[in-house]
Structure 1
Amino acid sequence: MSPRIYGLLLSRFLSALGDQLLLFAVPLIVYRSTGSIRMSGLAFFIEWLPRVLSLPIAGQISDRFGGKRLYIGADALRALACLTVALWVADQHQVPIMAVMLMMGGCAFAYAQAFIALETSLPQLVSPAQMPTAQSALQAIDQTSAIAGPAAASLLMLWLTPEQLLWLTGSAFALSAIGAQCFCPALARPDAKIKRPALWHHWRASGAKVLGHPVLRALVILSVSVNLIAGLALASGAAITLGRFGLDPRHFGSLQGSVGILAVCVLLAVPILLRWLSVYRLGIASYTAIALGGLLMASAANYPLFVLGYAICFAACGSFNVFIRSERLLWIAEAERGSLISLIVLFNQLSLPLAGLLISLADTRHGPQWLFYPASLLACLLILALHPGLHRQAGTARVMAE
Structure 2
Amino acid sequence: MTDCINTPVARRPAASALVRGIYLPRAADGAAFAMTTYGIPLLVLATTGSATLTGLAFALEWLPRLGAFTVAGTVVDRYGTGLIFRIACVVRALIVLAAALLLTVMDEGAPAATATVMTLAALTGVATEFSYVAAETAGGEASRMAGSRAHQVQSVLLGIDQTAMLAGPLVSGLLLEHGGPAAMLGTLAGCSVLAAALGTHGRNGPLGTEPGQSGLRTGWVTLRSLPALAWLVGGLVVSNCAIGLLQAAMPVIVVTELGRSSADAGLIWSVAALASLLAITAARRAIDRWGLWPVGTASAAVAASATLVVAQVGTYRGYLLLIAVLMAGEGGLTVVLRTLRSHLIPSEVFGSTLSLTILLLLLPFPAAGLLVAVLPPAQLGHAVTAAAVLQAIGLAAAFTRLRTMRATHA
Q: Flag whether TM exceeds 0.5 (same fold).
A: yes
Aligned to 1:385: 397
Aligned to 1:280: 293
Structure 2: how far apart are the matches of 1:299 and 1:146? Answer: 25
The Cα of 1:213 is off from its aligned counterpart by 4.3
Q: Where do 1:262-341 residues align within 5 Å?
A: 262-341=275-354
Aligned to 2:130: 113
Equivalent residue letter for 2:340: E
Equivalent residue letter for 1:100: V
Closer, same or farther in 2 for the Cα pair 1:235/1:116, shift >3 Å? same
Give % identity.
25
Report if aligned partners of 2:47, 2:108 keep a CA contact under 8 Å in 1.
no
Closer, same or farther in 2 for the Cα pair 1:389/1:150, shift >3 Å? closer
1:318-351 deviations in whole A, cap 9, x for unaligned?
2211111111333322211111111121112111
Closer, same or farther in 2 for the Cα pair 1:303/1:324, shift >3 Å? same
Structure 2: how far apart are the matches of 1:15 and 1:375? Answer: 30
Closer, same or farther in 2 for the Cα pair 1:394/1:137, shift >3 Å? farther
Closer, same or farther in 2 for the Cα pair 1:44/1:159, shift >3 Å? closer
Instruction: Say if 2:155 is the partner of 1:136.
Output: yes
Pairwise CA RMSD of aligned residues? 2.2
Query: Which of 203, 210, 214 is the equivalent residue of 1:195?
Result: 210
Structure 2: how far apart are the matches of 1:117 and 1:86? Answer: 26
Structure 2: how far apart are the matches of 1:134 and 1:76? Answer: 27
Q: Where do 1:2-401 residues align within 5 Å?
A: 2-7=15-20, 8-94=22-108, 96-125=113-142, 126-157=145-176, 159-180=178-199, 184-185=200-201, 187=203, 189-192=205-208, 194-197=209-212, 202-211=215-224, 213-362=226-375, 364=376, 366-393=378-405, 395=407, 397-399=408-410
Structure 2: how far apart are the matches of 1:358 and 1:394? Answer: 39
- Between stretches 316-325 and 381-390, larger displacement belongs to 381-390
The Cα of 1:124 is off from its aligned counterpart by 3.3
- Between stretches 164-173 and 320-329, larger displacement belongs to 320-329
The Cα of 1:44 is off from its aligned counterpart by 0.8
Equivalent residue letter for 1:377: V
Structure 2: how far apart are the matches of 1:82 and 1:38? Answer: 23
- Between stretches 378-387 and 136-145, larger displacement belongs to 378-387
Structure 1: how far apart are the matches of 2:210 and 2:174? Answer: 53
The Cα of 1:85 is off from its aligned counterpart by 0.5
The Cα of 1:221 is off from its aligned counterpart by 1.3
Structure 1: how far apart are the matches of 2:146 and 2:154? Answer: 12
Closer, same or farther in 2 for the Cα pair 1:388/1:230, shift >3 Å? closer
Structure 1: how far apart are the matches of 2:225 and 2:388? Answer: 26
1:238-269 deviations in whole A, cap 9, x for unaligned?
11111111112221132122112212221222
- Between stretches 35-44 and 381-390, larger displacement belongs to 381-390
Equivalent residue letter for 1:58: A
Q: Which runs of 5+ in 2 are unaligned?
A: 1-13
Closer, same or farther in 2 for the Cα pair 1:26/1:124, shift >3 Å? closer
Structure 1: how far apart are the matches of 2:204 and 2:30? Answer: 25
Report if aligned partners of 1:297, 1:306 keep a CA contact under 8 Å in 2.
yes
Instruction: Output the TM-score relative to the length of structure 1.
Output: 0.90
Aligned to 2:5: none
Closer, same or farther in 2 for the Cα pair 1:295/1:205, shift >3 Å? same
Structure 2: how far apart are the matches of 1:253 and 1:389? Answer: 37
Other structure's SS at 2:404 match: helix
Report if aligned partners of 2:253, 2:377 keep a CA contact under 8 Å in 1.
no
Equivalent residue letter for 1:284: T
Instruction: Output the TM-score relative to the length of structure 2.
Output: 0.89
Structure 1: how far apart are the matches of 2:202 and 2:374? Answer: 48
Report if aligned partners of 1:215, 1:394 keep a CA contact under 8 Å in 2.
no
Other structure's SS at 1:105 match: helix
Structure 2: how far apart are the matches of 1:128 and 1:61? Answer: 26
Report if aligned partners of 1:60, 1:338 keep a CA contact under 8 Å in 2.
yes
Q: Which runs of 5+ in 1 are unaligned?
A: none
Closer, same or farther in 2 for the Cα pair 1:155/1:103, shift >3 Å? closer
Closer, same or farther in 2 for the Cα pair 1:3/1:190, shift >3 Å? same
1:243-300 deviations in whole A, cap 9, x for unaligned?
1111122211321221122122212222322243212221222222222222222111
Equivalent residue letter for 1:168: T
The Cα of 1:204 is off from its aligned counterpart by 3.2
Structure 2: how far apart are the matches of 1:293 and 1:265? Answer: 17
